[in-house]
Structure formats: C-alpha cells, structure tokens
Amino acid sequence: MRVALVGDEYYPDIGGASHYAFELSLQFVKLGIEPIVITHAHPGQSEEEEIAGVRIKRVKGLVLNNPHRAASPLLFHRCHKYIQDMGVAVVHGLDIYSSMAQMAVCFARRHQIPCVLTCHSVIESPLLIYLHRPMLLTLRKADCVIAVSQTSARFCRSLGLPEERIVVVPNGVDLSCFNRKVDGSLIRKQLSLDNSPLVVTALRLIKRKNPAQLISAFAKVLKVIPDAKLVIAGSGREKDNLTRQVKRLNITNSVFLPGILLKEQIAQLMALANVFVLPSRTEAFGLAALEAAATGVPVVCPNSGGIPEVFQNGFDALLYPPGDDSTMAESMIRLLQDKELARKLGENGIRTAGKFTWEIAARRMLQVYEKVCQENASGRFHC
C-alpha cells in the first residue's frame, strides 16, 4: 500500500506533528507500507531525499513563520501533482492545523482518494472553537479523523464532527531509544552537568508550553534543595524571555537552556534525570512525558487534557492542577526527597510506556487505512 503523508512539519523540524509523522513513517516501512512524505522545503533543503526507506518530497514555495505554514498556491499545486502522479491509495493529513494537510485532504476528496486527518488538539478556550471553525471545516471532508486521545476526540466532536467519523489511535514511544538501559554519561559531559539532583523537560519554547512557569516553580525548589539543577531542552521564540527570567531570578547557575537536542540526546538526558516535568497547561497526549517514563524517570504532569488517560496520579506520575506552580514545585521536591516514591513511580512508568509503542500505533493506523479503502467506494467511511 502506498500512502501519502502530508503536512507542514517533518524531520528535522521540531514539534509534535513532525515527531508523529517521522515515527509513523519509519514503522510503516517495517510493516511493508510505502510511505511518501510530502512537506514544504526550508531554504537549503533538497527537494527529494530518502531516510530509512521513507521517500520525502519537499515542495518549494512561500512559507509563513511562527508557525511554519505553507501559503503559496504554487506550492499547493505541486503538492496536489505529487499526490496525483504517485498513485497513492490513501492521503493522510498529519495535522488539522497544517495548511498542506488541509489542502491535501480537500484535493483527495475532490478526486475520490480515501483520506484521513489527524487531530493532535484539545480545547483550551471555548472561544477557540468559533475562531477555528472555518479552518476546521476540512475535518468534515476526511473519511476518518484520527484523534490521539479521547480528549482530542471530544475536541473534534465539539466542532460538529459525528462520533462515527472519529477513531482514537494513541501516540507511541520508540522503546529502542527510550528505555532504562540508556547511558547518559555522554550528554552529562556535553552539558557539563555534575551529580546534583536533576530536573529536566523537553519542549518547544513557546508560551503555550508554559516553560516560564516551570522556571518560577523551580525557583521555589531551589529554596528547599539549593543544589538542584534544571535543564530545559528545546528552542522557540520564548528563549530570550526565559533567559532574562532566569537572570532576574538570579538562578543562572542552576538553570540550563541548551537548545535543540537530538532524539538520542534527549533520551540520554532523561536517563540522567531524577524528575521529568511537563509544564504545559494541557496536552492532547503528553508524548514527552511518556518517553521520559519509558526511561524509568518519575514524571510530573498537569492533570488535564489527555494526560489522565495515560497516567494515574500517585501510581506512575504525580499530577498537578494545570497552571499551579506551587503544586508543581511541591511535586518536584517530593520526588527529589522521597527516593522510594520516585522508584515506585519510575518502575510503574516503564510498564505504562510499554503499552504505547509506535508499532502498535502504526498497526492500528494500517487497519484504518484498509477500512477506508474498502468502504470508500460504497460511501463515507465510518470509523
């Protein structure tokens, strides 16, 4: 089966949709599916390449920044031509907010090619439903909408999508990369980390991910555990503001912002950590926390979005009310001081992560593709 995976983000881009597309495409190759990724080209990138058996078509054209979104009729035309010329069985739009994914789904519907669209989103404000509604009309053109959690499925239903058109396929973890056997000595040397208690996170440095509140909470941790260290891996437009915040709080010797780290480096960093914290107010799934759990590090997450679908408070994570930096700080302190609790959460977290792998996600996705193809000719697909 040949499948077009279309979106504005793909490796080496940083972000949840890019990570999702990359991991799924690698698993598809192992399952005998032929994935063809269609995305936009950044300056200097080759228009065609192959990574681990995945063919990638990078289309040139106007791209907006923050977020990166294709905005060129010529780019969309080239994307459509790729889909038409390659004879794909299914078109998969990788993100409901991706302009390339939206246009690809519309093109597929017009040309009677089975199509699905992934929703990574959750409702953050009732107002957003109405602001996003015109853009998300694309959802109704897809034969099936893939939601990464029950929470994102509810988001789709709130936009008027029928229940029978939605199927939940959770994200996964690459257990060959994220596991308790990972050696963190190399990243320790690269980042000049000592043996102090270590808290880490990995995220995009944007307001929605709430890194500033993590820094505020960590400042409270330092009053109790003054030798603790915090590493915030990632990049984004908030980095300068975060650097200023760290200086203003006079904790520059305790907080490190190393920028973008490779997947293997993030796994090594997690292996070193005593605690992993996800500071977002809400997440549809919380993949980074699950990857951390797979390495055996206890995690601290908001009790919101899709996270309670994955983690259970006090069993494999400590969950705090979203936006509550005091409880976030208390959770970090508790895990840094209570070694037995940290060990228990870490052990249970490994078992939890084992239930969510990219192989499981890819096999479930293949079932959706096959059903779309089988039923598309006779009418709209019902998940």
Express each pLDDT in 180-194 by its tens digit: 999 999 999 999 999
| Average pLDDT along the chain | 91
| pLDDT at residue 378, rounded to an integer | 64
CA of 31: how far to CAs of 20, 25, 87, in Å?
17, 10, 19
Examine the pLDDT at 70 and tell me if it is beyond 70.
no
Per-residue model confidence as pLDDT tens digits over 25-44:
999 999 999 999 999 887 77
Angle at the Cα of 356 from the Cα atoms of 171 and 372, rounded to 5 degrees: 50
Domains of the chain, CATH where assigned? 2-172+357-376 (3.40.50.2000), 185-353 (3.40.50.2000)
Tokens 């029950």 belong to which residue? 150
Q: In what order do the strands lie in the sheet with 115-119?
A: 48-51, 54-59, 34-40, 2-6, 90-93, 115-119, 144-147, 166-168
pTM: 0.91
| Mean per-residue pLDDT, 74-98 | 89
pLDDT tier at 145 (50, 70, 90 boundaries)?
Answer: very high
Helix (H) or strand (E) holding 139, with range, is none
- Residue 200 near residue 273 (C-beta atoms within 8 A): yes
Is the predicted pLDDT of residue 159 greater than 90, yes or no? no
Q: Return d(Cα 354, Cα 27) in angstroms, integer.
A: 16
pLDDT, mean of residues 86-101: 92
Q: Is 373 helix (H, G, I), strand (E, B) or coil?
A: helix
User: What are the tens digits of pLDDT across the range 8-24?
Assistant: 888 887 778 889 999 99
Bridge partners (DSSP) listed for residue 48: 57
Which of 67-71, 112-116, 168-172, 308-312 shows the lowest per-residue confidence on average (mean pLDDT)?
A: 67-71
Q: Select from 114, 88, 1, 146 the least CA-distant residue to 372.
A: 114
How do residues 213-258 score in pLDDT, each as one tens digit?
999 999 999 999 999 999 999 999 999 999 999 999 999 999 999 9
CA 21, CA 58: separation in Å to the nearest integer?
14
At residue 174 the predicted structure's pLDDT band, cuts being 50, 70 and 90, is very high
Per-residue pLDDT at 185: 94
Residue from 110, 86, 71 nearest 38 by CA:
86
